């Protein structure tokens, strides 16, 4: 299992994967529209394959899709907006800014913990949010901690999460990680994520286990071949060239989420069974919430954080499953 986790770093981004999608009719309508507006022809082809299947089961919910004055106009709007923004971005910041692996907390609610407390009290009160904020802000540290503990409750496992009050505090992280870790984090429903074009420009990291095994040169050779192929293709097909970039190459992206969503993501993705790449990202997100935002109560509520450097985590999990089936 560890070997497979390591070797995925030299797989190309174009490696075929299976994916299942669950959503409402409205969500599928949006998916088809955005695929139709995509620059890659294969994405547009999948839009039509998806639409054909959906029209067979929920046609009454998709009447706008194929109308030129509705779905057609929508696709045109998406394409033109993207085209305009690409031009603006190139004019305002044309350089390719290099960055190493890392996570930066770029924005957060300074008064976030007080807002969580006020929002948690709100449905149990007859007072306004403003009045509740005025009541919790002057509380002593000990009283605030006790009230926060009441909001969090006695969590017996990571699925026991606090209520909607935790959604009133938000964080925005800028992440540079390998593309494989990005793919694992991207598929979370409960966050907002935006990413940049995948290129070799941010470089890649060689896993320490590969270096320790004396295989770093062979790793560089494999990645170098992928980069050379990317350079040849990108001159003519810049979008399609992304398929040749490896899963081990770095990509830059933004993650915006609230404290409740952060608890779900961080506790889940730092579990011992997780891939080391995204475990490190989420462990750093937790540290930044605690040390940079200064939200010690939010960070402390994430009691099911996996922070140890587990060796062979997936192998051990698989071994337990095998033992239980004997």
Mean pLDDT per segment of 10 residues, for the chain of length 326 residues? 87 91 94 97 97 97 96 98 95 88 97 98 98 98 97 96 97 98 91 96 93 96 97 96 97 98 96 91 98 98 83 55 58
Residue 4's pLDDT is 85
Residue 320's pLDDT is 59
| Contact yes or no for 238/228 (Cβ under 8 A) | no
Residue 98's pLDDT is 85
3-state secondary structure of 91: helix
d(CA 317, CA 311): 11
Structure tokens at 131: 């009045």
Residue 95's pLDDT is 84
Positions of E strands within the chain: 102-108, 170-178, 192-195, 250-258
Closest of 17, 297, 316, 5 to residue 146, by C-alpha:
297
* Residue that is written with structure tokens 């937790």 in the block: 286
Model-level pTM? 0.90
* Residue that is written with structure tokens 């952060």 in the block: 262
Closest of 215, 95, 116 to residue 168, by C-alpha:
116
Closest of 266, 252, 277 to residue 100, by C-alpha:
252
Residue 278's pLDDT is 94
* Residue that is written with structure tokens 């830059």 in the block: 252
């Amino acid at each position: 299992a560890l070997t497979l986790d390591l070797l995925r770093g030299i797989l190309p981004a174009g490696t075929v994967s299976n994916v299942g999608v669950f959503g409402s009719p409205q969500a599928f309508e949006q998916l088809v529209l955005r695929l139709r507006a995509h620059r890659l022809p294969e994405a547009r082809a999948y839009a039509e394959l998806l639409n054909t299947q959906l029209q067979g089961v929920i046609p009454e919910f998709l009447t706008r899709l194929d109308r030129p004055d509705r779905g057609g106009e929508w696709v045109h709007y998406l394409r033109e907006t993207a085209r305009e923004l690409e031009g603006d971005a190139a004019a305002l910041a044309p350089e390719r800014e290099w960055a190493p692996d890392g996570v930066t907390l770029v924005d957060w609610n300074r008064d976030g913990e007080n807002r969580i407390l006020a929002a948690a009290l709100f449905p149990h009160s007859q007072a306004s949010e403003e009045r509740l904020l005025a009541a919790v802000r002057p509380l002593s540290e000990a009283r605030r901690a006790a009230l926060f503990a009441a909001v969090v409750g006695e969590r017996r496992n990571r699925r026991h999460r606090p209520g909607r009050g935790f959604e009133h505090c938000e964080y925005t992280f800028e992440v540079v990680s390998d593309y494989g870790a990005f793919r694992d984090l991207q598929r979370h429903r409960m966050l907002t994520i935006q990413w940049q074009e995948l290129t070799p420009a941010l470089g890649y990291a060689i896993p320490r286990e590969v270096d320790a095994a004396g295989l770093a040169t062979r790793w560089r050779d494999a990645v170098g071949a992928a980069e050379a192929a990317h350079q040849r293709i990108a001159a003519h097909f810049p979008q399609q060239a992304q398929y040749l970039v490896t899963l081990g190459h770095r990509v830059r992206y933004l993650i915006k989420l609230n404290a409740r969503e952060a608890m779900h993501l961080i506790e889940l993705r730092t579990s011992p069974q997780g891939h080391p790449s995204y475990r490190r990202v989420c462990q750093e997100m937790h540290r930044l919430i605690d040390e940079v935002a200064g939200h010690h109560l939010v960070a402390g509520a994430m009691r099911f954080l996996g922070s140890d450097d587990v060796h062979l985590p997936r192998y051990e999990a698989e071994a337990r499953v095998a033992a239980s089936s004997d």
